[in-house]
Amino acid sequence: MKQEYNKYTPDDFEVWKLLFESQILLVRDKACSEFLKGVETLQFNAEKIASFDETNKLLLQLTGWQIYVVPGLIPPADFFKLLHEKKFCAATWLRNRNQLEYLEEPDMFHDVFGHIPYLTDPHISSFLQRLAGIALQYISNEKVVEMIATFYWYTIEFGLIKSKQGEVKIFGAGIVSSPGESIYCLEQTLLHQPFDVAIILKTAYRKDIFQSTYFVLDSLEQLELSLITLQHILNEQFGSVSTKSVTT
């Protein structure tokens, strides 16, 4: 599959423009610096739907990652295999005007605006590949795969992070691409919890409502080191496996 750019309609371009303009304005002072830098590096803007071909050329030079077109949600085994190969799954369809504020199933705006800027950062992109490596070690164990999916949810999708100045900023792609949750997650400080891998793995999540818990990273270094803790917890509960993919 590939992005058929010439099939996007004037309405598609208008939806992209509306989404991009409103969301980038909303998160400019709320999102972490890595996201904002990634948007600038990839030259994403309101006037043009992001071209996967153009973006992939830049990503290949920066971190070796590529956008990989999928029709929608795919099985965890396929998702983690592609992630480990430095291929980030993205849809090419775009929501309509009636879905500007909320969409349960991720579309291209969520996938591209929310996730792809982070792939320009070597620390975050390395974290993703290494997390996928851990998932593949246990891919036949549905319980472990669900635990890793939970960990992914509360970091890459709905995580928060402290800036160097100590301010809490948006980190997760599910938040940064959501108008309502971009505001809600920072206002609801009572829902903020210290980042703790063991607690995260036991925390249920839902896809149809704003989150009831947000885990706050102290830094990207803490995110990277969390994989060692994650591997240790899984080894203790489900048996030791090779740590090669965690350290490479």
What mean pLDDT is predicted for residues 49-67?
97
Number of domains in the chain: 1
Q: Does position 42 have pLDDT exceeding 50, yes or no?
A: yes
CATH classification of the domain holding 146: 1.10.800.10
Residue predicted with more confidence, 171 or 244: 171
Coil/strand/helix, residue 222: helix
86: left (phi over 0), alpha (psi -120 to 50) or beta: left
pLDDT reported for residue 73: 79
CA angle 235, 236, 241 (to 5 degrees): 20
pLDDT at 241: 65
The percentage of the chain sitting over the pLDDT mark of 90, rounded to a whole number, equals 86
Q: How far apart are CA 194 and CA 212, in angstroms?
A: 14
Examine the pLDDT at 246 and tell me if it is beyond 60: no
- Beta bridge partners, 162, equal 168
Section 59-78 average pLDDT: 92
Give residue 243's pLDDT band: very low, low, confident or very high (50, 70, 90): very low
Q: Give mean pLDDT, residues 172-182.
A: 95
pLDDT at 71: 84
User: Of all residues in the chain, what percent carry a pLDDT higher than 70?
Assistant: 96
DSSP at 165? T
Q: In the prediction, which pLDDT does 245 show?
A: 45
pLDDT of residue 242: 53
Residue 39, helix vs strand vs coil? helix
Give the closest residue to 152 by CA, choosing from 189, 108, 115: 115
Across residues 218-236, what is the average pLDDT? 97
Question: Is-contact 90 56, C-beta < 8 A?
Answer: no
Mean pLDDT of the chain: 93
Tens digits of residue pLDDT in 82-118: 999 999 999 999 988 877 776 677 899 999 999 999 9
Average of per-residue pLDDT across 153-180: 96
Cα–Cα dist 102/218, whole Å = 29
Q: 114: closest CA among 44, 210, 168, 161?
A: 44
pTM tops 0.85 = yes
pLDDT category of residue 75 using cuts at 50, 70 and 90: confident
CA 49 to each of CA 54, 94, 242: distance values in angstroms, whole numbers, following the listed order:
11, 10, 42
Q: What is the pLDDT of residues 128-166, one digit of tens each?
A: 999 999 999 999 999 999 999 999 999 999 999 999 999
Domain that holds residue 241: 5-247
Specify the range with the lowest mean pLDDT, choosing from 36-50, 86-100, 112-126.
86-100
